[in-house]
Structure 1
Amino acid sequence: MSAPATGDVRPGGPRMSAPATGDRSGRAPQRGPAPTAQRGAAPSTQRGTGMVLKTLTEEEKQQRVRDDVLRNRVGEMRRAAEEDMRRRQDDLSRAVAEREAASRRAAEEETRKKAEEEARKKAEAEAIRRLADKEKAAAALAANPATSAAPGRAAEAEDDEEGASRRRGAGGAPGKVAPARPAPSKTRGGDDRRRGKLTISTALDENERVRSVASFRRRVEREKRLMQQSALAPTKVLRDVVVPETITVQELASRMAERGVDVIKALMKMGVMATINQVIDADTAELIVSEFGHRVQRVAESDIEIGLVEDADDDSVLLPRPPVVTVMGHVDHGKTSLLDALRQTDVAGGEAGGITQHIGAYQVHLKSGKAITFLDTPGHEAFTQMRARGAKATDIVVLVVAADDSVMPQTVEAIHHATAAKVPIVVAINKCDKPGANPDKVRRELLQHGIVVEQLGGEVQAVEVSAKAKTNLDQLEEQILLQAEILDLKANPDRRADGVVIEAKLERGRGSVATVLVQRGTLHVGDVFVAGNAYGRVRALIDDKGKNVVEAGPATPVEVLGLQGTPEAGDEFMVVENEARAREVAEFRQRKLRDARAAAGNRGTLEQMFSKIKAGEAKELPIVIKTDVQGSLEAILGSAQKLATEEVAVRVLHGAVGAINESDIALAAASGGAIIGFNVRASKQARDLAERDGVDIRYYSIIYNVLDDLKALLSGMLAPTVRERFLGYAEIREVFNITKIGKVAGCMVTEGLVKRGAKVRLLRDNVVIHEGQLSTLKRFKDDVREVKQGMDCGMSFENYDDIKQGDMIECFELETVARQL
């Protein structure tokens, strides 16, 4: 069987191919996809064409598989969006149809009401007409009594069938008058109520009153007016009223949609005298709501936070997000230099001089298109606080260890923080380009703290890098991305944003500025949000490069402008539906914070106040003065004002003549002050109240004693004078590296003496490069308290190791001298 003829496929050549035998339409047969070459097989040649098929590599196969998965996911998202759009269109059509049906029903109801109103008017007119005809007939009978068969009995032509038959009589002949009926019997208790229909005979009976046309019209008008009032009266709407633990009268009236005056009247009926702005308890509010007929929903004040954080997202809507990395390590191991190298900018150099765009977090975009978010948190304590709050702001910790110093105390501290937070660690062995670098020593010492690197059979990745030479930085980024791929980090960008506050500050001209890390959802300009006990609306979003953006997705750090207050680092950040909800949540959290501070605060005796003054917590002395005469009060007030300086002052809350009463105690307790009584005493009720609230009352009878005590308190409020006392100099002759201690300087005391625990300055070429505290002072192998001139010793600084041979150490002490007014 011969193969079908193929046309010329050369570029520019004529395309001539005969149609297939079985295809009668004349169309050329469709060509299927070329068969894929198997891995490892020799490249095959297509028969008759001379073309060689390219063998796909394993990476290209994986790329095609990933492309297929991505296309399928995009298709699923597109189909879901189309289905959502169709569902919304159906809902819209249904709503339009329901609205049209409601309009038709309303029009029909209006037409029916108009028809009923016209029929009612016609019936009223007909009744009035019939009553007028009856009155005319009665007048005609009175004018011609001959037509009547007996006096007092009248007969006339009437449309009523019953009256006509009574006039015709039993024979039915016209013109005859029916015989008179006997008078009704009154044997049933004198019941003379009218029975049957109203006729001319009964209407003209002398024993009954005749209703006039005017009275009938008045009755008809009254009924019409009542019907109109009932139609115009609004229907009362019963509402579900949410009643918290405390609520103002105005707020309760607004929630019930009632007038405040009516609510106050209801409270007065219950014996509660309240104004429109007064706060009432939940039980009273519940009784008021029940009185107005509404339904009550009792809630606690803390229920306002229910539903503030949305539930977890479904796995079908999650998309990959960049990892969030925190760099930790020992001092001077190159953390900042490594971050600068990764960011390819000199952050430290920018911060030393002018304006910097450092906001605490930033993103690094790699050549592959992926991104990594790095956090620059202010120390380990803030990091653990975020983890304790459950914010999960950090996914991976990069532990930086210098190859020449190996594991140091703060390195161990960083390991403990990361282990407690259950965060994976990637070790970056820095300074591998230095002559004394020993990466193997770093790996061995990490074993002592439970960190087993991959080279020693563990699972922790360790990369040898150099921030100065910028070597192996790409490997470190690959290890971070590999760890992130293992963690399978995903988030839903199509929801309301929430995250964590990295840092917050108050800037001139910009107000409160918060740096937030978005964890879920997308933050847009104009969103209303709550951050701790502060809230606001997003006025602007600024990224780590200082550019304004309109939105920020998951794992993106941005600066947020528009806060009404300043939150704290580690507070949760979330977007809410409206500003009223945000204000309620923020006010509730502020009340909780105030209550906690009030419970923790101690206000009371002058001794406690004096301790606060010594601690520098108070610069103003609040007091209440009560004296026996006005002259004494004026003297004390004038002398107290003269004691004031630019730093401290006496703040007189209240000064009056008379005994100390309960209002004075309440004022002093509210302001945290004390009471001075000059030749006066407190009543028993005031003493009991002062003992309960912890307010100190001091009695004086000599004015000089009052002024002496006030002067002593104000003197204690003054900041003490700090003086520096020189101790001695020491020269570094040799530098030793001691395990678990760090660098120790072998020194010779050249002048004065050196004390352990004293303040020191490190001088290099007569320039101060460090100022700190002396942590270790040894003489040979023994710890000593001081070393005098001409003696050798070993010294180490607290949290500082950058010492060199030939440096000078200046030792000094700080003395505080109390100031007097």
Structure 2
Amino acid sequence: MYRSACLRLLSLKFIKESSHRCEPYKLINDAVKNARTLSLSALNYKKRKSPEERAVENQGRRVIRYAPKAGTEVVGIWRNMTVQEIADVLKKDVDHVFKALEFADKDSEVVYTRNTVIHNPQIVRDVVKISGCRFKIIAKPEDRIEEEENKDAMPAPPAPPEALRPRPPVVCVMGHVDHGKTTLLDALRDTSVVDTEFGGITQHIGAFEVQLSSGDKVTFLDTPGHAAFSAMRSRGAQATDIVVLVVAADDGVMEQTVQSIRMARAANVPILVAINKVDKPGVNIERTMKSLAQHGVVCEALGGDVQAIAVSALKKLHLDTLVEALTLQAQLMDLRADPGDYVEGVVIESQVDPRTGKQATVLVQRGTLRRGCVIVAGTGWGESKVRMLKTAEGGSVEEAGPSAPVSVLGWRELPAAGDLVLEVPSEKRANEVMRWRHSQRMKEKQAEDLEVITAKEAEHKAVYKQQLQQKRAIGRFRVKPKGPRDKMIQHDDHPTLSVIVKGDVDGSVEAILDILETYDEHQTVRLDLVHFGVGQVTHNDLEIAQAFNAEEELIGEAKVLQQFLVSEGRKKVPVAGCRCTKGTLQRQALYKVIRNDQVVYQGKLASMKHLKDEVASIKNDTECGLRFDDINFAVEPGDVIVCYKLVDVKHTTQWDPGF
């Protein structure tokens, strides 16, 4: 356009003024100047027009083709949108969409309203382009919400009567601490579990299956009687068919006895009373039954409907009578389940074994659990493709039917005690369920955090309002801080006890955390729960403890280079050839050996040598030979040896944990 204008003007000028004998170069300069002015005016005219104005000029076209620039806002669109939905995604009013539809759908006779559904996707795209946005195709938001709501795994509906088969009863043994619950179970299955319990007190739920002399099978759950383990007892009552309430004839009804009765009533489970320790002299069985009647447990001897059997677990007296009562109660209940359905169960206990890894004791309530099954539990990533099934005795089994307790290995993340276990058809489905549950848990956490944030904002606004009123009252723009500047920085010198809780099983950790929650924050020393978990103490736990000034003081570290066998008399003893890598090593200090973030040895040294000399300490970057007290312990190259000492700082508190 610019070039053609130049040529036309040049031709006219030359013809008009040729008679005046003008110089050719002057004519060319004038023509170029005029052509530039004309061209710029045309371009400025084009620039002043908006996309809507240019669209009006092109009303003869069927579809407006307008391509927004890169970097503009991208909006999501879907099929069959309404006019109001288009306005919402564009963040504009409905009138804007109506005007855009006049150009995008010019030939149509449709009268658009807010709720008009646009079935032609091209019209929606053109409206978005006219509005200066780009688009992407997405699913309708309501459809996505509905899809998310259907991603969780749910228990199956009740099985038809023809699919039900008889199953063994699940019996939970409950009662006060030291009334003989575990001893009674030992007598029933002829074992000595009580010898392995710390202090003779059950600290977690033991689940095992017993085959009685009659040939019938019974699953027993042994719950702890200590006051700290009330949550465990509650789980045991909820997962059971019959509760055997053990009451010592010499003690009678105690605090945990009453609590066990209350839990059994809440779970709507029948109670059978075992009055234990009747072999002791001077016991009064009738007084014990009268004490039970005061709490709603009326025995048959007093005219009630609760069976009460006097036994001696230690002497194994009248155990056959107790077994007969259990069998009769189970027959009256007619316990049945569907062994061919998808697996349903409950996590009785969970733990981290240093050899086999994460494992959970599962009580199967429906279906048959087999190796290779895919199961999910809890709200975390508690999914498992079952690698191995083990009994309470440690034996491996291929499957477990209804009422059978088994230890399941193969968990991706350890489930919590009490979690519902459900079988799903595939690992893909398990991942889908876990993602959905994880997202739901995050939403709940966000809602909880929002409540805290809202409360903090309200508190901040109240303080700000008070300060603003103070400023207005004194007529100053800014209130100067009172006192020196260093007082503006607050230091919390309140004594604090930082605690890390690690337990062998999830139930024990839960019980300790429940106790710590009762700590009164108004005590002289504050309690700060830093970390908790299930399993052995790891190197990461030690680092966390050091960060919070634990009483355990690090002296030095060494790295194992090689193990040697040295002759001492007629024996060959192992010696760790090491190099000190941090601090110093002291002969009389305590030592830990860490392998793969696990503490594999704790103890003292029997010998510390540099070259051939016995020494009291080793400096940094010096090689040495270390021999531990335990001659059966063998180190491996790459092990980390930690030298430390314990700093004992004693404090007293008036806190009463309730037991």
The alignment's TM-score, normalised by the length of structure 1, stands at: 0.39
